[in-house]
Each structure stands twice: as C-alpha cells, then as structure tokens.
Amino acid sequence: MPAQAWVTLIIGLIATIGVIITWQQKNSADRRSEWFRRTTWAFDRTFSTSDTEAQLGWKVLETLVASRLATRSDSDIVQVIAEQIALGDSDGDYDEEAGNDHSNTEESGPGHS
C-alpha cells in the first residue's frame, strides 16, 4: 500500500475514534442530567404531605443513589439532604444564620462606614 493510503487510513481511524469519544461523553452527560432530574423529582416527592408519595420518593432516591451514574459526591449530597429532611430543621437555625450573615454583609459593604 502506498504511503498516501496509510496516511488516509490513519487519519480516518483517528477521526472515528474522536467521534466515538465525543458520542460517549455526550451520552454520559445526558444520562447524568437525567439522573439529576429524577433525583430532583424524588426529593420533591419526599416533601409531599402524602405518606405514600413520600415513601415513593425515598425508595426512588435509594435506587438512584445505588445507580452507576451517581458519583461519591452525589451520594454524599443526597445523604446530607436526606438527614436534614429526616431530622427536620423546625427551629429555623439555617434561616436565622443566613439572615444574620446577610445583614452583616450589607452593613459592612460599600456605603457603610
């Protein structure tokens, strides 16, 4: 085979590999996006006033966290949110702290000496 044919073959193979890698990355990103959408849906169910819907939300979350698409940080985030929901932040500490921090920032910001 002449050198030009080899060059054409190699360039074609490199282009094919590039297309396959790009397709895999897009496919993975689409699947992760769908995983996140489903996780959001499941969390919405856990806040439902209906016990049946809340149980459904928890079961779906359990399945989603076990998925190959869930990274370790995804699992950790779901764990933290689930703990907060289970413990219930009824005293409003987070809202008060956020309000205090925000008001302090405004007072010490530009225009306040």
Determine, yes or no, domain membership for 55. yes
Name the domain count of the chain.
Answer: 1
Share of the chain above pLDDT 90, in %: 56
Convert the pLDDT of each residue in 60-71 to its tens digit: 999 999 998 898
Convert the pLDDT of each residue in 71-82 to its tens digit: 899 999 988 988
CA distances from 85 to 32, 41, 67, 78 (A): 24, 15, 22, 10
Determine, yes or no, domain membership for 21. yes
Q: Which pLDDT band, with edges at 50, 70 and 90, does 30 fall under?
A: very high
Identity of the amino acid at 112: H
User: Domain span at residue 103?
Assistant: 3-107
Determine, yes or no, domain membership for 72. yes
Determine, yes or no, domain membership for 82. yes
pLDDT of residue 89: 59
